[in-house]
Structure 1
């Protein structure tokens, strides 16, 4: 989130500035915001008075930029939050699920401002959670090829709107330091699965043979890289000093979503471990905490693949919520 003009704060009217807020959304979320023939986003622009732009490109993630005076920004934000809540309610109409998932939005914030957002010893973010009722999470790592981080806000639309207002105040009081390299999502790369020396890409529910050059590349890699079962400390590339060192990445997942990552008797998490080659540890539930910590250890490539597979699992579950007829026990 960046500020496009100098700050002015009114004692009665609250904020009086022009802001630019950047949101990170998945393709399905973007489709909901655009609506049929662009009708939904046009209505949001007209009724809020804010400028709403959506990044181009065939990307799994898109950037939605909202610009305008603060009152128009908050109206647009409210319309988006209520639209997402409507989508959740519609997806549950024929679903056996009894608890309604929270609305979740992700802001993109310069990393230099995240310290102010968290506060000393986490005091500021704790205060925001308690006063608004929203869950707020600041990503530990910067988004790829940028100096920005994702800030995830979950809760009711009302809680999210109040939380965004407080975040805006903090961001205005602590402007970004230095130049910000904005996050630009990369075009979609189709997941590739290798089996029997052949590469396949997943299209819908089917595995389609992949172009030969990738198959040959995989075969070459398999000749040089014996598979190392999970838990062994043998380097993945024996004899090569240039292999990237192991590192660790942490994720925080709400308790009510951890089950879809673990799967029945741990089947899903074991699948993710095997496919990614990363070590994945899920912390025990802490009393009074609504979240669980996931620690991913491995090379940067292992970690990236594990994160992708975890996110894909969330997308699969969201698809099941939206299409209850396809729901199976997992």
Structure 2
């Protein structure tokens, strides 16, 4: 990475991507009616503003562009949030105006530089901008990123974002970053056989926190059903070690990533889940393939989870 050229105006101008974590309500405010607000922000700032899909309570807003475009976009977001706060206060008795808060998502490998030795950098940022800055102690679920929360008046936030950008450019992330992806809205959680599932589309997916427990469960259950010997499933009997069969349909174009090269992935899934998995041959004129999973409910749900994760 070549050294950053500081231009004569004292500004940096390199392309950068900043990720923000927002609640649905905040995202709605940024998008505006029929997408007008975000469209105006894109046009006025010159930055690319992308909003993650999905019915998640949290969404990721990605802002990419030359640094000056990013600062403009941030200013517009900060002022929009301030406007929302003022509007929400007009009908509330509170007199002191709460600060605007933005949450950045930063690769954990860059957080050390943001904090500085003994917290020196973050302290300097707080003092010079007047914004509150906090770096989360833990990484966001299933990622190598941390949340950095900035709150204060919009002007303070903009100054603070500028300083954070400088630090991020001076110390790029080390190694691969696993980006944080918000989980879908906690759609109803179903309990079955002591296992929690969330529904996504037409699939029941083991609750992620349950996955490790599920794995232990699957491991403990293997003694009951010697491999290859499947006890006939009795309808109505939900004994957790009873073998049963489950069918999934997978679009043809996705089957490759489930099977893997010469079947490596599917074998891995078989091994991890302990379930038997059969993939039907492609049917003439059909764009989907049938997958049959046989094993205990725990094995099946683990296999399903791994297939869906692929």
TM-score in same-fold range (> 0.5):
yes
Q: For residue 225 of structure 1, give the secondary structure of its aligned residue in structure 2.
A: helix
- Partners of 2:230 and 2:294 lie apart in 1 by 12
User: Offset of 1:184 from its aligned partner?
Assistant: 0.8
- Partners of 2:215 and 2:282 lie apart in 1 by 39
For the Cα contact (< 8 Å) 1:53–1:66, is it kept in 2? yes
**Greater CA drift, 216-225 or 105-114:** 216-225
Q: 1:79 to 1:297 in 2, by over 3 A?
A: farther
Q: 1:147 to 1:99 in 2, by over 3 A?
A: same
For the Cα contact (< 8 Å) 1:254–1:290, is it kept in 2? yes
User: Offset of 1:219 from its aligned partner?
Assistant: 20
Structure of greater Rg: 2
Q: Give runs of aligned pairs for residues 68-87 of structure 1, distance below 5 A.
A: 68-87=65-84
For the Cα contact (< 8 Å) 1:230–1:274, is it kept in 2? no
User: Offset of 1:98 from its aligned partner?
Assistant: 1.2
Q: Deviations over 1:210-240 (max 9, x none)?
A: 9999999999999999999999999999999
Q: 1:221 to 1:130 in 2, by over 3 A?
A: same
Q: 1:269 to 1:153 in 2, by over 3 A?
A: farther
1:310 alignment counterpart: 307
Structure 1 residue runs without a partner (length 5+): 313-330
**Greater CA drift, 272-281 or 154-163:** 272-281
For the Cα contact (< 8 Å) 1:228–1:236, is it kept in 2? no
**Greater CA drift, 40-49 or 258-267:** 258-267
For the Cα contact (< 8 Å) 1:199–1:214, is it kept in 2? no
Q: 1:288 to 1:44 in 2, by over 3 A?
A: farther
For the Cα contact (< 8 Å) 2:230–2:295, is it kept in 1? no
**Greater CA drift, 8-17 or 250-259:** 250-259
Q: 1:297 to 1:196 in 2, by over 3 A?
A: closer
**Greater CA drift, 221-230 or 146-155:** 221-230
Number of equivalences: 307
Q: 1:242 to 1:205 in 2, by over 3 A?
A: closer
User: Offset of 1:94 from its aligned partner?
Assistant: 1.2
**Greater CA drift, 236-245 or 21-30:** 236-245
1:284 alignment counterpart: 281
User: Offset of 1:10 from its aligned partner?
Assistant: 2.2
**Greater CA drift, 48-57 or 286-295:** 286-295
TM-score by length of 2: 0.61
For the Cα contact (< 8 Å) 2:251–2:288, is it kept in 1? yes
Q: For residue 18 of structure 2, give the secondary structure of its aligned residue in structure 1.
A: strand
For the Cα contact (< 8 Å) 1:197–1:219, is it kept in 2? no
For the Cα contact (< 8 Å) 2:141–2:180, is it kept in 1? yes
Q: 1:252 to 1:22 in 2, by over 3 A?
A: farther
For the Cα contact (< 8 Å) 1:199–1:215, is it kept in 2? no
For the Cα contact (< 8 Å) 2:193–2:240, is it kept in 1? no
Q: For residue 10 of structure 1, give the secondary structure of its aligned residue in structure 2.
A: coil
Q: Deviations over 1:61-90 (max 9, x none)?
A: 100001111111100000000000000000
TM-score by length of 1: 0.58
**Greater CA drift, 111-120 or 207-216:** 207-216
Q: Deviations over 1:105-134 (max 9, x none)?
A: 000000000001001111100000000000
For the Cα contact (< 8 Å) 1:197–1:215, is it kept in 2? no
Q: 1:106 to 1:240 in 2, by over 3 A?
A: farther
- Partners of 1:11 and 1:303 lie apart in 2 by 62
